């Protein structure tokens, strides 16, 4: 069966006014006698002539002439409905944090080579300016590689059209693409920097490169690429304990990523030994963890989180909470891990973060708000009220379309002597297919053993009858006895390209190379691109749908609708199976 999950977000955002004053950059208790940064407006008089920006002086961060402690939190604008950006940022501000950190996903901003999208939910500039309006500084993490549990670590899949591509190196094909992307991105970022009157006080150079470390010239190249395009704020690197030594760049402040108090010792010893007396920062303190498909939901106790954050600050380190609010991997943008076995990430990016996926408060929020509030001379802004949610009635689909019926009206298939992987399909103006499914079809006349490399999961059909699956573990399948000419069909699902590790160059999807029957390569394929974009479904005119029979033909698409009334509230879809085997789409709400 074709498993397609649609997640519905009904936003019911209400306008919120920003606080009348911006944040007071905070210091730990033993620093309270030192000069403090008290804001009466977003840009007080002493900040109207910005010259020094965020810089280092001995063991301290300094903002202009005052000691500055970074108390930050991560929210990714591309994982939160734009209607709720303000709500999430106000909750961050009310938690006592003074700095927002966010990644910038190249694959979403340049889905086709040379065509950029910074609109709607991808309006980076609007997100950064909203943070400034609310009273938050910003640390930008523009990549080009960001990890972030997003497909290919945020790198666009069209890079893999080059069979010799070497991602995250100074390979010409990669740097040429990065240069064009940075030309466009930095033209938007430069005016948002602190010294130009904006909220961006620091910019990260790539991300956790020490864990990859393929090219010693790469990180200096990225640093120069940023500086040549007008980045003038403090530059940082970010690495976990295993990559910290190899990820450093001359003249760039190193920061560490961690989750346990035991790892703090590394920060206190190694960082001091290699870069002397410099400010310390935990760029990613992991407040939870992401979930893999089929695995348990990862949780981290709120008391442990508070104890570790307290230890980080007591060690004289600034801290950024990753994640403050995780949000959602909308569509097919989830990444994957592949070490001993391939594991795709789930649609939810809840991360057991300080705010839930739905933006609700947690025990972590209450404890951290009390902790960070203890360093503020003024009371923190009140936390915004929780947003309303709604439970809707269960829904039963009434019409459907079998995949085999869909093929007749989605256009002519691609004809090829050999299978073509997803990234190299001649679609999307030569940019290939990024996400979704591919259907491969050819004719066979005999039985035997079918073998090949299928990424990530292929359902094998004889005509329209399913006979099994091929994936990372199952690379061969027996074709039973057939009579005459028979359609062999393989429906391949891209379950997410890995976002971390040394095998990111090997992330092409679909059938990779030849497909063999009894060790002989099969020929003359018809290939259907099922990218699941809106334009794909717009081909399904209403007259094509039919009532669901007692025994539906799978794989299939199901359709239903429901009335939400004049005051929509947040909800999500929970898919269950009942008997007889009709999927029930029930919309329910989460209480966090």
Catalytically active residues are 208, 284
Buried-state track 501-514, b at ≥16 Cβ within 10 A, e below 16: eeebbebbbbbbee
Do residues 394 and 584 touch, judged by C-beta distance below 8 A? yes
- Give the span between the Cα atoms of 195 and 48, in whole angstroms: 10
- Give the span between the Cα atoms of 267 and 575, in whole angstroms: 45
Instruction: Work out the number of other CB atoms within 10 angstroms of the CB of residue 409.
Output: 11
Structure tokens at 233: 């704020």
Do residues 571 and 391 touch, judged by C-beta distance below 8 A? yes
Instruction: Work out the number of other CB atoms within 10 angstroms of the CB of residue 177.
Output: 23
DSSP code of residue 155? -
Q: What's the farthest any 2 CA atoms get from each other in the chain?
A: 89
Whose CA is closest to 157, among 107, 103, 98?
107
- Give the span between the Cα atoms of 436 and 518, in whole angstroms: 29
Do residues 57 and 253 touch, judged by C-beta distance below 8 A? no
Instruction: Work out the number of other CB atoms within 10 angstroms of the CB of residue 447.
Output: 16
Whose CA is closest to 544, among 436, 402, 395, 438?
402
- Give the span between the Cα atoms of 177 and 407, in whole angstroms: 35
Tokens 């095998």 — which residue?
503
Tokens 């902790």 — which residue?
371
| Residues in the chain, overall count | 592
Q: What does the H/E/C string look like for 102-133?
A: EECCHHHHCCECCECCCCHHHCHHHHHHHHHH
Instruction: Work out the number of other CB atoms within 10 angstroms of the CB of residue 48.
Output: 9
- Give the span between the Cα atoms of 340 and 327, in whole angstroms: 28
Do residues 575 and 583 touch, judged by C-beta distance below 8 A? yes
Do residues 53 and 194 touch, judged by C-beta distance below 8 A? yes
Do residues 240 and 288 touch, judged by C-beta distance below 8 A? no
Q: Which residues contact 401 (CB under 8 A, 6 or more apart)?
A: 540, 544, 545, 546, 556, 557, 559
Cα–chain center distance at 201: 23
Rama region for 394: left / alpha / beta (φ>0; ψ in -120 to 50; rest): beta
**What is the distance between the terminal CA atoms of the chain, rounded to a whole angstrom?**
31
Structure tokens at 207: 């991300």
Whose CA is closest to 98, among 381, 305, 366?
381
List strand residue ranges (DSSP E) for 287-393, in order. 317-325, 336-338, 342-344
């Amino acid at each position: 069966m074709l498993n397609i999950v649609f997640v519905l977000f009904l936003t019911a955002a209400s306008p919120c006014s920003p606080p009348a004053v911006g944040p007071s950059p905070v210091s730990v208790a033993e620093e309270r006698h030192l000069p403090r940064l008290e804001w009466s407006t977003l840009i007080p008089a002493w900040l109207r002539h910005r010259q020094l920006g965020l810089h280092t002086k001995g063991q301290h961060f300094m903002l202009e002439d005052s000691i500055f402690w970074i108390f930050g939190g991560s929210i990714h604008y591309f994982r939160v409905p734009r209607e709720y950006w303000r709500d999430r940022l106000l909750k961050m501000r009310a938690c006592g944090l003074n700095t927002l950190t966010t990644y910038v996903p190249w694959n979403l901003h340049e889905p086709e080579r040379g065509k950029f999208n910074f609109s709607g939910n991808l309006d980076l500039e609007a997100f950064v300016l909203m943070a400034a309006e609310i009273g938050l500084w910003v640390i930008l993490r523009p990549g080009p590689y960001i990890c972030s549990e997003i497909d290919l670590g945020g790198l666009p899949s069209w890079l893999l059209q080059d069979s010799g591509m070497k991602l995250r190196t100074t390979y010409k094909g990669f740097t040429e693409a990065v240069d064009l992307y940075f030309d466009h991105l930095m033209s938007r970022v430069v005016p948002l920097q602190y010294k130009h009157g904006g909220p961006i006080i620091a910019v990260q150079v790539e991300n956790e490169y020490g864990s990859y470390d393929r090219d010693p010239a790469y990180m200096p190249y990225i640093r120069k690429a940023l500086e040549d395009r007008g980045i003038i704020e403090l530059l940082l690197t970010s690495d976990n304990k295993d990559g910290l030594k190899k990820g450093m760049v001359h003249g760039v402040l190193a920061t560490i990523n961690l989750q346990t108090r035991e790892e703090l010792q590394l920060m206190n010893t190694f960082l001091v030994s290699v870069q002397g007396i410099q400010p310390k920062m935990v760029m990613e303190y992991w407040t939870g963890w992401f979930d893999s498909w089929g695995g348990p939901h990862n949780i981290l106790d709120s008391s442990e989180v508070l104890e570790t954050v307290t230890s980080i600050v007591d060690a004289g380190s600034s801290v950024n909470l990753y994640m403050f609010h995780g949000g959602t991997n909308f569509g097919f943008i989830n990444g994957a891990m592949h070490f001993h076995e391939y594991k795709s990430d789930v649609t939810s990016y809840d991360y057991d973060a300080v705010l839930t996926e739905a933006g609700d408060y947690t025990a972590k929020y209450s404890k951290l708000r009390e902790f960070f509030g203890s360093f503020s001379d003024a009371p923190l802004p009140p936390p915004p009220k929780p947003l309303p949610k709604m439970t809707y009635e269960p829904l039963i689909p009434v019409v459907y379309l079998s995949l085999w019926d869909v093929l007749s009206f989605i256009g002519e298939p691609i004809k090829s002597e050999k299978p073509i992987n997803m990234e190299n399909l001649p679609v999307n103006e030569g940019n290939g297919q990024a996400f979704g499914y591919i259907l491969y079809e050819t004719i066979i006349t005999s039985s035997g053993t079918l073998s090949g490399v299928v990424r990530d999961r292929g359902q094998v059909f004889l005509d329209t009858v399913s006979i099994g699956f091929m994936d990372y573990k199952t690379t061969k399948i027996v074709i039973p006895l057939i009579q005459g000419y028979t359609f062999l069909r393989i429906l391949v699902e891209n379950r997410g390209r890995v976002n971390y590790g040394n095998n990111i160059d090997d992330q092409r999807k679909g059938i990779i190379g030849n497909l063999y029957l009894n060790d002989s390569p099969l020929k003359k394929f018809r290939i259907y691109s099922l990218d699941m974009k809106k334009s794909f479904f717009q081909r399904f005119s209403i007259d094509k749908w039919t009532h669901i029979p007692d025994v539906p033909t799978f794989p299939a698409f199901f359709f239903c609708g429901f009335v939400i009334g004049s005051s929509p509230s947040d909800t999500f879809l929970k898919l269950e199976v009942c008997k007889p085997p009709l999927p029930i789409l029930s919309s329910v709400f989460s209480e966090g």
